[in-house]
């Protein structure tokens, strides 16, 4: 990283709005912190990294992100450690994934060291916005979008990388129901499903509305060819415990590589559980349910954390999970405890933001 890039220009608000928000009873996505991080890309390089008061960003109506969807994002959470230091969870993994997404979407890569440094400085400035209630955190949203005004099909030449943040309470406070979708698909091999591209989420909105109208919380996506292999859930990866072993769909090219997913695999293995990454058919889950070897299931995601699953269904299917899910609870509690330094981070996941 060159010198100009390491220097982040900081302009702070005169007065914080944090006292206007009840941080202990907050829902993610509605309130935004005082500042934003911005960095511009043009003439083939990133420049002018800065933290400024949160404000509207002037956008040309021909900005290419609005028309062709060159837009990607990340999600991560900041917590407070025992001595009040703001903590980030595996920020380098987000930096790497953002660049994987950028590459797939024909966008410029963002320097990983600047990504982490920007997050540290931004989070340190927004420290007072980090909620402390169990399961709460400050949700950080890094994103890149094409801001070049142009009509025509090619990669943009001008982009913005930004970070904004929103205080977040626990996402689900109960077990959830998933709708096994057999009409719409999220992704195909060779498509953009592995990237955290805005368009993947746009394509999921209508099917998610349909699933919600039927009483489900999120969609369980199946493969685009046979509607048989389990892929991922609306905003999560998925784990099943069958006959003592954990199984999660392998990353076959259309599934997002979740950072919570990779952390849960390591955590479970460190506790002595066998975790198998492989393709898994929904018929296997039905069979395991029938022969009573289906023990637990949960979704993993940054926003959601660990979401225990109660049921998977659709019009002609209903798989109910046992009421008790002790390992899922352990995973949730352990991750939360690591994030606030209640237990030691043996994995080296936590990075101090100071
Ligand atoms: C996250 O878990 O960080 C996500 O990106 C999901 C988001 C759509 C709420």
Please report the pLDDT score of residue 52 as a whole number: 98
- Mark whether 116 and 7 lie in a shared domain: yes
Please report the pLDDT score of residue 315 as a whole number: 79
- Work out the average pLDDT over 197-222: 97
Nearest to 159 by CA among 213, 98, 203, 209: 98
Domain membership of residue 288 (yes or no) is yes
Reduce the secondary structure of the chain to three states and give it as a string: CCHHHHCCEECCCCCCCHHHCCHHHCCCCCCCCCEEEEEEEECCEEEEEEEEECCCCCCCCCEHHHHHCCEEECCEEEEECCCCCEEEECHHHHHHHHHHHHHHCCCCCCCHHHHHHHHHHHHHHCHHHCCCCCCCEEEEEEEEEECCECCCCCCCCCEEEEEEEEEECCCCCCCEEEEECCCCCCCCCCCCCCCCEHHHHHHHHHHHHHHHHCCCCEEEEECCCCCCEEEEECCEEEEEEECCEEEECCCCCCCCCCHHHHHHHHHHHHCCCCEEECCCEHHHHHHHHHCCCEEEEEEEECCCEEEEEEEEEECCEEEECCCCCHHHHHHHHHHHHHHCCCCCCCCCCEEECC
CA 4 to ligand 1 center in whole angstroms? 32
Domain membership of residue 330 (yes or no) is no
Please report the pLDDT score of residue 6 as a whole number: 64
- Mark whether 34 and 74 lie in a shared domain: yes
Give the chain's length. Answer: 354
Q: Which atom of ligand 1 is nearest to the CA of 301?
A: 2
CA 101 to ligand 1 center in whole angstroms? 15
CB atoms within 10 A of CB 277: 14
Domain membership of residue 331 (yes or no) is no
- CATH number (domain holding residue 144): 3.30.470.10
Q: How many domains does the chain have?
A: 2
- Mark whether 80 and 195 lie in a shared domain: no
> pLDDT tens for residues 64-92?
999 999 999 999 999 999 999 999 999 99
Nearest to 211 by CA among 180, 186, 175: 180
Q: Which atom of ligand 1 is nearest to the CA of 73?
A: 5
Please report the pLDDT score of residue 4 as a whole number: 44
Please report the pLDDT score of residue 30 as a whole number: 97
CA distances from 260 to 94, 218, 246, 300, 353 (A): 11, 18, 15, 6, 19
- Mark whether 131 and 196 lie in a shared domain: no
Q: Which of 29, 171, 195, 235 to mutate to test the pocket of ligand 1 (most atoms within 8 A of CB)?
A: 235
- Mark whether 163 and 184 lie in a shared domain: no
Domain membership of residue 353 (yes or no) is no
CB distance 307 to ligand 1 below 6 Å: no
Which of 150, 170, 190 delimits the end of a domain?
170
Cα separation, 250 vs 166, in Å, equals 31
- Mark whether 265 and 303 lie in a shared domain: yes
Q: Which domain holds residue 95?
A: 3-170
Residue 5: pLDDT over 60: no
Residue 157 class from Cβ within 10 Å (0-12 exposed, 13-18 middle, 19+ buried)? middle
Domain membership of residue 346 (yes or no) is no
pTM of the model: 0.96
CA 291 to ligand 1 center in whole angstroms? 34
> pLDDT tens for residues 167-204?
999 888 899 999 999 999 999 999 999 999 999 999 99
Reported as half-sphere exposure (CB side, CA atoms, 13 A), residue 1 has a value of: 20
CB distance 231 to ligand 1 below 6 Å: no
Please report the pLDDT score of residue 319 as a whole number: 96
CA 76 to ligand 1 center in whole angstroms? 8
- Mark whether 192 and 73 lie in a shared domain: no
CA 329 to ligand 1 center in whole angstroms? 21
Query: In the structure, what pLDDT confidence band is assigned to residue 316 with cuts at 50, 70 and 90?
Result: confident
Cβ-proximal residues to 290 (8 Å cutoff; 6+ apart), any chain: none
Domain membership of residue 81 (yes or no) is yes
Residue 236: pLDDT over 70: yes
- Work out the average pLDDT over 147-163: 98
Residue 2: pLDDT over 60: no
- Mark whether 267 and 126 lie in a shared domain: no
| Average pLDDT value for the chain | 96
Q: Which atom of ligand 1 is nearest to the CA of 139?
A: 3
CB atoms within 10 A of CB 184: 17
Q: Which atom of ligand 1 is nearest to the CA of 260?
A: 2
- CATH number (domain holding residue 243): 3.20.10.10
CA 305 to ligand 1 center in whole angstroms? 10
Cα separation, 79 vs 90, in Å, equals 12
CB distance 302 to ligand 1 below 6 Å: yes
Which of 135, 170, 205 delimits the end of a domain?
170
- Mark whether 165 and 180 lie in a shared domain: no
Domain membership of residue 309 (yes or no) is yes
- Mark whether 116 and 188 lie in a shared domain: no
- Mark whether 210 and 194 lie in a shared domain: yes
**Closest CA to ligand 1's atom 8:** 235
Nearest to 199 by CA among 110, 28, 67: 67
- Mark whether 227 and 109 lie in a shared domain: no
Core vs surface per residue 233-243: b (16+ CB within 10 A) or e: bbbbbbbbbbe
Domain membership of residue 199 (yes or no) is yes
Residues pairing with 294 in the sheet: 242
Please report the pLDDT score of residue 354 as a whole number: 87
């Amino acid at each position: 990283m060159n010198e100009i890039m390491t220097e982040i220009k900081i302009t702070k608000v005169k007065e914080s709005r944090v006292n206007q928000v009840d941080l202990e009873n907050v829902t993610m996505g509605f309130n935004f912190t005082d500042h934003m991080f911005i960095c511009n890309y043009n003439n083939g390089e990133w420049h002018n990294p800065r933290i400024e008061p949160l404000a509207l960003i002037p956008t040309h109506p021909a900005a290419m992100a609005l028309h062709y969807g060159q837009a990607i994002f990340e999600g991560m959470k900041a917590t407070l450690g025992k001595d009040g230091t703001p903590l980030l969870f595996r920020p380098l993994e987000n930096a790497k994934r953002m660049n994987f997404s950028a590459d797939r979407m024909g966008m410029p890569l963002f320097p990983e060291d600047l990504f982490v440094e920007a997050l540290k400085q931004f989070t340190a400035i927004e420290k007072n916005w980090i909620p402390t209630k169990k399961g709460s955190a400050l949700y950080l949203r890094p994103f890149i979008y094409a801001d070049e005004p142009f009509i025509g099909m090619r990669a943009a030449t001008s982009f913005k990388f930004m970070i904004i943040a929103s205080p977040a309470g626990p996402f689900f406070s109960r077990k959830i129901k998933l709708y096994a979708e057999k009409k719409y698909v999220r992704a195909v091999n060779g498509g953009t499903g592995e990237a955290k591209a805005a368009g993947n989420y746009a394509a999921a909105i209508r099917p998610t509305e349909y699933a919600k109208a039927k009483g489900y919380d999120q969609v369980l996506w199946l493969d685009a060819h046979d509607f048989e292999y389990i892929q991922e859930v609306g905003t999560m990866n998925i784990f099943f415990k069958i006959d003592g072993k954990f199984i999660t769909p392998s990353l076959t090219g259309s599934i997002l590589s979740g950072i919570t997913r990779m952390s849960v695999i390591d955590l479970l293995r460190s506790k002595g559980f066998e975790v198998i990454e492989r393709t898994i058919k929904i018929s296997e889950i039905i069979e395991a349910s029938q022969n009573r070897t289906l023990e637990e299931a949960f979704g993993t995601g940054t926003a959601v954390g660990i979401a225990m699953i109660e049921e998977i269904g659709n019009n002609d299917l209903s798989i109910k999970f046992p009421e008790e899910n002790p390992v899922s609870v352990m995973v949730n509690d352990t991750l939360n405890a690591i994030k606030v330094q209640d237990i030691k981070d043996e994995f080296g996941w936590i990075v101090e933001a100071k």
